Structure 1
Amino acid sequence: MVANKAGIEPVESGFPGGLRAPLAVVGAALCLLVAWCVIQLPAAARSGGALAVAQSQELLVNDLARATADSIGDVAGDLSTASALYTVHPDPTPAGTLAAITRGTPQALGLALVQRGVGTLLAGTGEPVPVESLPNKDIDRITVALVRDQSGATVVLTAAPLTGTDWLILVTTGLKIPAHTLSGQPAEALLLTTVDGQVVKSRGAFDPKYQPMVTAASANSTAVGSIVGDAGKGPVVDGARTTPIAVYAPILTGDPARPLGLNLVLVGSAPSQGTAQTPVETAWVTAVLAAAVLASLALLGFGFVVPLRRLRAEALGGHRRRKYRLREAAVVSAALRDEILPVKRGWISARLFVVLAVAPLLLCSAAVGVIAGEAVPNVPDLVVQGERGLAEVTAGALRDQMSASLSDLRTFATRATGDVASLKPALANLMAQNKRYRSVYVTDANGAVQVDAGRAPLRTIERPPGGSGLHQQNTAGRIPVLYASTPLPDRSHVLIGELDVTRLSSILRRSAGNGKLVDSGLRTLASADGYRAFDVLSDQALRQSVTDALGGVGRPGTDQIDGQWYVVAAATVTGSPSTDPLRWTVVLEQPLTTLPLPDNVVRRYALFAALAVGAAGLLLLGWYHLCFVRPLRRLAAAAVNLEQGDLKTVIYPERLNEIGTLSQCLDDARRQRTATTAPVPLLV
């Protein structure tokens, strides 16, 4: 007996309500994903070479650009401090005023004192200052601009109003590129360029053939980036043609930082092609994903969708009876025909079958994710050497900051005469203009503070060191006490500036990964990440890197630290008489997985594919379980009750799909059996 004798017309919703909808939607998405893997994974594996090298140099060039901006900003700080000291002992004559300012600005090429508002020259010294190039002669704060002097050279013009007067101080300084070792490939030259591509300062051999790339790089004055030229158009290196590259970063000055109109551009060459050999085999990943997708879709299609649609056709009377492996389908089929349900082996529940059908997707997702996550990328030597360059630049920036702090104090001391208490406004100005200090103060010969500015001193009261220099007072405690000191002209007082460790840490944060500043005892003084002061480096790779750097031999390389692979490089904070005795070292550790390498691109793509496959598997599992498996299991339970004689419970369709149609057919079968078993009324 089949239910369609009553003429049931199935009422089923359209897409996406049917059994085939999940396969159509998720299956199409998975097929597109496999196609994407076929195209993108091999392309990513071959995307190394020039692009990877250029991107790996962007942090280095940005660090060099910031160091250049710091040197320009130091001039503004020196000028502000000199102006503040002038107010302590003012000179009414322009010549005397200019002489006092000159002693406080040792970097100046030329100085001029002009009338504010009109620009009339009152006094000048050194090289002629292009007063006419100052765009606004009625300024009320320090400004920095890029101008040309009388010889046509590009110089930096810094202007500041002189407190208590209607005069302006103008200072011209030259442009300089921070020291950095150019060791051939990839770097050949470092250039300072204007926005129109004109080279105003260079270091290294600049080949004019790079000029079009330099012009294009100079046009972008707000962001860091790189340009890769035509493959094979660079010089021949080790018998192979290379690709020219240009990496650029803007020079930003002021607070907030604004473009000065200069860019730092690194030009050089890099290998034209990357290697297709990666730790994550792209063909293997694609094959595994494709096999998992095919297996799951085939199991769901032929093992779940097709049997249930055949059962629906059977219930409607349009299909001959078949045998079913799904237990719920067999129960419903027997109930529709009013047959005794035999107990057979080999049946499987719909819930378990759907889980097993989706399992290949989930297992594939887990396997690819684990393998890609644990893969160690191949790091070209050029990238490792670039990390050493980054450590050198970071160490140089710290050296310049600390040397500048001592230079500030020495300049300040040249004008700090008379009553010590009268220096407080000038000390406050020194603090305001130089963020490198946490406090600045004057002590007596025994180290007791006489006048101060900034936060409370951390330095323990003790007799100050003789002469000028940089010092580290403690090797234990909550905060490292690092300071610069210089005696005042009266020789009975000492000027001390405590360095702000947070400021030193901000310089370390410019570099990727985790940078640390350590002393000669391998104790941490500052760090880019959270740290405890004076924690001793515990990892052998970091200790060896610092030891090599202190010994004069920097050996950057890759090492495993706490189960993760890093590029490790170290550089000493040396190069000036004030910092050499400290024997401080910068050590950088950057995870290999964060480097701009083709291996990492492949790894990220593989992880994305694994995540997408896993999400698709869960979507299929949830869709089929909620919309079909659960209603089917309840329908099978109703069929069992029906076979056991329950003819009163109405079987309602839960959803307007194939399972809903089966519910209608089974309820129609229940009504027919109720009619045949009802007692016939007696006729009187």
Structure 2
Amino acid sequence: MAVSSAKRRHKVRRRADMSLLGGIRPPIAVLSALLLALAGLTALGFGKPDNEPLPTAVRTSQQHFAEDGAIALRASLDESITDLNRTAALFNAGDPVSADTVLDKLGNVYQKWRGSAIVEITSGKLLAARGENVPLLAVDREKLSEKDGLAPRMVRLKNGETRLLTFALLSWEGKPQQLLITSNSLKVPGISLGKFRVIAVVDSGGTILSSDGLRAAEDIPSKTVEDEVKETKKQLRTFAKLAAEKSAANPVTTKEPGSGGFFGVSGTMTGSRISQERPVVGYATLAAPEAGGSTDATGLGLSVVTLVTVPENTSRVTDPLFGLVAAAALLVIGALAVALLLGTVQRPLIRLFLESRRLSRGDLTRPVTVPRFGEARRIGDALERLRLQLLGGTPAETSDGNDDAKRRRGRRVGTRALLAGGGILLLIWSAPMMLLLNRAGDTIVVPQQLVNDQRDRTDTLTDRVRRALNEGHADLLSVATLIGDQTAPADMATVLERTMTEHPRYRSLYVLSPDGTVLAKAGDSPQHPGGKRTGNAPIAVLSTDSKEPQVAGYAELPGRDGALVVGEFRVDFLNSLLKRPGLGQIRIVDAERRIVGANTGYRAFQKLPSSRLDSLVSATGQKVGLSPRPSGVLFRDGDGIQIAAAAPFAGGGAAKSLGWTVVSWQPASALAIPEYSAQNRTVLAGLLGVTAAAACLGWLHIVVVRPLRELARQAETLADGDRRTVLYPRHHDEVGAITRSLELLRQQLQEQRRREGAPSALAERI
């Protein structure tokens, strides 16, 4: 038994001598490293002057503007190609008609092509033509049978302009094949340029194919303006070359993984300063609506480039010494916090570990050095009492009358209070960083260009929605014209199904008889109330009592006494048109300012969230007697600084009768404006400080303080005479080593008791 007990004690001693992983040192060391790293980041983040000539928000806005133009151009080209192919397919499905009839019906339904022509493929004979002359010599009829023979292509005219030619085949049994050709310019449709913006379409070689925004300046008889126009053209040509080079990159390599947004290549560039202004360029390639996809338009290799001159920002937002002062303050406060933890928590605990190991090895000559505070003091008092008991004293003799008072004084300042003191020291630095310093007040300067961009982009988005509805109504007119008065219901369903497949904007298509009977349908069940058309508007909202807006377009069938082709638009289709980054919250409201569409969640036909947005919509000219016009405004009130814009449906088309307005708004704090950027970095530094303190001090509390409190209770119980409770270490750290030493002391006291003739353990239990 004696040999076994000696081996067990030797094993415990060997474990106590091991260098243990964890314990009190790692949390304090990690806290020191994190505070040093945070001080370095603070000095680097604020140590340089934050007076960039152009705010990041302005540059990003120009990138979004170019993306809007690329989306509009791609959608317009693909829509034109799809409409031409679908129209040709519908003609091919019916009886043969003359070339003049085809072009007349095509022109009556769609007014989107500058010129159109039909050529007999075998002979090359021109059968019919409308509009401007189509460059027929650029078409090689012998290559039409190849794989890409009917792909759209660009042709350079003698006057330097570029035309896009699109093709479709007209085939009837017993008649020679005919080639339907349309030509159109490459002008970006529906883009609101404002007063000083230039936009251009560029090919893969950097050649400007078309541009807009310079003509107004050229008409002004001023030498200065003329020079500025020439300089702008020169810069535009230079940036077009650079944009073409950058656009050749793979979109996957130009964006952060998972960033989403625009699926093509886009970015910004800045030019040299001219008269306190600096040109900012945004560029974007024509990209498919889905990642990794391609369309006929994206295969043309086109890019959209926008250029606008913006006044430079010469004001200084933050003092360059702020970062150095904040970093120095963090180093001083962090050093005090770490010194507090080292002096009042780590060193006393390590001293207790050494004292307990000395006692467990039999060195009882020197009194135990007792720490001054907290649980360490309680454990030190217990070790001293155990040393005296090993020298022959009893628990009662080693406890004097003042022992309880000493214990109470030791509990007054526990280890948890010491950790809280360290946390309070770190909060002295972190709290002002989060709540007080570098606050962006209500007087910050928001660049006027951001307000202009919000207005112009909202106007562009309005035109995009209006054009989409007009295109949908034009499709219905095309279907109605081709169905005519001779088509049977079975054939009607075939035409409707084909239209549904080619145009996902509809949830349902159906033919409605004058008495409200559905003669043929495709898609979902019709939601038309009572089967009757209310009013004569070509596009109307069916009901304002439903859970979601129901918008339908009408086209009358010729020769059928009022029968209609009805297309109900998908709400998701309208909402998807509004999903553009950089505009914040976007809503479509009707003439009563009730919401009918949004880019985020909404309730149908509810009011706008604030009265100032209602006033903004009214100011756009929806009231009687005012001309519709887009407007943008910067709100400064109790709700913070907010940029808002509204643009009503303007221009022709069936959608104008709806009287809708697109409204967008976003807080200025969401933009990369220097004042807000400095505030965000300051808050981030404070949050990092709080996080580092909470993580490391919490780690210290879980790993050290809680086990130490339990160990203090066990040590006092052992010193009071409890020899039966075995002490088990929880972790292989300093607290665990002290626990093992106390267990060895407990075993030594038991052996001492046996040698003195004390009752056995079995007798004690009895």
- Give distance in 1, aligned partners of 2:95 and 2:437: 69
- Give distance in 1, aligned partners of 2:534 and 2:379: 96
Normalised TM-score (structure 1): 0.84
Alpha carbons of structure 1 residues 105 and 8: separation in structure 2 relative to 1, 3 Å: closer
Q: Is the 8 A contact 2:571 2:597 kept in 1?
A: yes
Q: Work out which of the residue numbers 304, 322, 339 in structure 2 matches 1:264.
A: 304
Q: Does 1:382 align with 2:449?
A: yes
Instruction: Name the structure 2 match of 1:199.
Output: 208
Q: Does 1:226 align with 2:267?
A: yes
Q: Is the 8 A contact 1:72 1:253 kept in 2?
A: no
Q: Is the 8 A contact 1:44 1:601 kept in 2?
A: no
Q: Work out which of the residue numbers 231, 238, 244 in structure 2 matches 1:212.
A: 238
- Give distance in 2, aligned partners of 1:508 and 1:78: 23
The C-alpha deviation readout for 1:640-665, integer Å capped at 9, x for no partner, is 12321234555455444333443454
Q: Does 1:391 align with 2:458?
A: yes
Letter in 2 for 1:539: S
Mean Cα deviation higher: 358-367 or 194-203: 358-367
Q: Does 1:300 align with 2:341?
A: yes
Mean Cα deviation higher: 456-465 or 361-370: 361-370
Instruction: Name the structure 2 match of 1:243.
Output: 278
Q: Is the 8 A contact 2:114 2:183 kept in 1?
A: yes
- Give distance in 2, aligned partners of 1:272 and 1:81: 51
Higher helix share: 2
Instruction: Name the structure 2 match of 1:67.
Output: 72
Mean Cα deviation higher: 53-62 or 153-162: 153-162
Shift in Å, 1:254? 7.9
SS at match of 1:556: strand
Alpha carbons of structure 1 residues 409 and 666: separation in structure 2 relative to 1, 3 Å: closer
Q: Work out which of the residue numbers 528, 531, 544 in structure 1 matches 2:615.
A: 544
Q: Does 1:352 align with 2:417?
A: yes
The C-alpha deviation readout for 1:250-282, integer Å capped at 9, x for no partner, is 223588444231111111233444754379x96
1:275-314 equivalences in 2 (<5 Å):
275-277=315-317, 293-314=334-355
Q: Is the 8 A contact 2:194 2:456 kept in 1?
A: no
SS at match of 2:545: coil
Shift in Å, 1:541? 1.9
Q: Is the 8 A contact 1:234 1:269 kept in 2?
A: no
Q: Does 1:629 align with 2:705?
A: yes
The C-alpha deviation readout for 1:146-169, integer Å capped at 9, x for no partner, is 444566643223233446666553
Alpha carbons of structure 1 residues 478 and 315: separation in structure 2 relative to 1, 3 Å: closer
Mean Cα deviation higher: 174-183 or 308-317: 308-317
Mean Cα deviation higher: 663-672 or 154-163: 663-672
Shift in Å, 1:443? 3.7
Letter in 2 for 1:404: E
- Give distance in 2, aligned partners of 1:562 and 1:366: 24
Instruction: Name the structure 2 match of 1:3.
Output: none
- Give distance in 2, aligned partners of 1:195 and 1:533: 44
Cα RMSD for the two superposed structures = 4.1
Shift in Å, 1:514? 2.1
Mean Cα deviation higher: 146-155 or 202-211: 146-155
- Give distance in 2, aligned partners of 1:562 and 1:90: 68
Shift in Å, 1:431? 3.1
SS at match of 2:405: coil
Q: Work out which of the residue numbers 623, 641, 644 in structure 1 matches 2:717.
A: 641
The C-alpha deviation readout for 1:442-490, integer Å capped at 9, x for no partner, is 4445555444444333333335655x74334444333434333344443
Mean Cα deviation higher: 317-326 or 517-526: 317-326
Instruction: Name the structure 2 match of 1:406.
Output: 473
Alpha carbons of structure 1 residues 282 and 503: separation in structure 2 relative to 1, 3 Å: farther
The C-alpha deviation readout for 1:546-603, integer Å capped at 9, x for no partner, is 1111355654234489967642211111122544443211001224343233344445
Unpaired stretches in structure 1, ≥5 consecutive residues: 1-5
- Give distance in 2, aligned partners of 1:606 and 1:196: 45
- Give distance in 2, aligned partners of 1:444 and 1:17: 82
Alpha carbons of structure 1 residues 452 and 18: separation in structure 2 relative to 1, 3 Å: closer
Q: Work out which of the residue numbers 506, 510, 516 in structure 2 matches 1:437.
A: 506
Higher strand share: 1
Q: Is the 8 A contact 1:391 1:587 kept in 2?
A: yes
- Give distance in 1, aligned partners of 2:269 and 2:241: 13
- Give distance in 1, aligned partners of 2:328 and 2:418: 24
Mean Cα deviation higher: 535-544 or 334-343: 334-343
Q: Is the 8 A contact 1:559 1:568 kept in 2?
A: yes
Q: Is the 8 A contact 1:501 1:526 kept in 2?
A: yes
Q: Is the 8 A contact 2:454 2:645 kept in 1?
A: yes
Q: Work out which of the residue numbers 168, 171, 184 in structure 2 matches 1:160.
A: 168
Instruction: Name the structure 1 match of 2:32.
Output: 27
Instruction: Name the structure 2 match of 1:501.
Output: 571
Q: Does 1:336 align with 2:383?
A: yes
- Give distance in 1, aligned partners of 2:512 and 2:743: 99
Alpha carbons of structure 1 residues 170 and 295: separation in structure 2 relative to 1, 3 Å: farther
Normalised TM-score (structure 2): 0.75
Letter in 2 for 1:251: L
SS at match of 1:207: helix
SS at match of 2:539: strand
Shift in Å, 1:387? 1.1
Q: Is the 8 A contact 1:73 1:253 kept in 2?
A: no
Q: Is the 8 A contact 1:139 1:160 kept in 2?
A: no
Mean Cα deviation higher: 14-23 or 202-211: 14-23
Instruction: Name the structure 2 match of 1:490.
Output: 559
Shift in Å, 1:246? 1.3
Q: Work out which of the residue numbers 669, 680, 689 in structure 2 matches 1:613.
A: 689
Alpha carbons of structure 1 residues 211 and 128: separation in structure 2 relative to 1, 3 Å: closer
Alpha carbons of structure 1 residues 629 and 482: separation in structure 2 relative to 1, 3 Å: closer
- Give distance in 1, aligned partners of 2:517 and 2:345: 87
Alpha carbons of structure 1 residues 303 and 113: separation in structure 2 relative to 1, 3 Å: same
- Give distance in 1, aligned partners of 2:492 and 2:441: 59
Unpaired stretches in structure 2, ≥5 consecutive residues: 1-9, 215-231, 252-263, 386-397, 758-766
Instruction: Name the structure 2 match of 1:530.
Output: 601
The C-alpha deviation readout for 1:159-214, integer Å capped at 9, x for no partner, is 33446666553433211123444345xx5311111122111111123431343333
The C-alpha deviation readout for 1:410-449, integer Å capped at 9, x for no partner, is 4455544331435443333333333333334444455554
SS at match of 1:517: strand
Instruction: Name the structure 1 match of 2:187.
Output: 176
Q: Is the 8 A contact 1:90 1:97 kept in 2?
A: no
Q: Is the 8 A contact 2:21 2:733 kept in 1?
A: no
Alpha carbons of structure 1 residues 147 and 295: separation in structure 2 relative to 1, 3 Å: farther
Q: Work out which of the residue numbers 175, 186, 197 in structure 2 matches 1:188.
A: 197
- Give distance in 2, aligned partners of 1:61 and 1:109: 25
- Give distance in 1, aligned partners of 2:278 and 2:202: 22
- Give distance in 2, aligned partners of 1:441 and 1:41: 64
SS at match of 2:721: coil
- Give distance in 1, aligned partners of 2:565 and 2:728: 91
Q: Work out which of the residue numbers 63, 81, 85 in structure 2 matches 1:58.
A: 63
- Give distance in 2, aligned partners of 1:65 and 1:546: 28
- Give distance in 1, aligned partners of 2:525 and 2:682: 54
The C-alpha deviation readout for 1:23-64, integer Å capped at 9, x for no partner, is 112210221022102211455954572533110232232222
Shift in Å, 1:607? 4.7
Letter in 1 for 2:351: R
Mean Cα deviation higher: 330-339 or 162-171: 162-171
Q: Is the 8 A contact 1:83 1:162 kept in 2?
A: yes
Mean Cα deviation higher: 557-566 or 150-159: 557-566
Alpha carbons of structure 1 residues 427 and 639: separation in structure 2 relative to 1, 3 Å: closer
Aligned length: 666
Letter in 2 for 1:246: V
Letter in 1 for 2:699: W
Mean Cα deviation higher: 292-301 or 56-65: 292-301
- Percent sequence identity over matched residues? 25
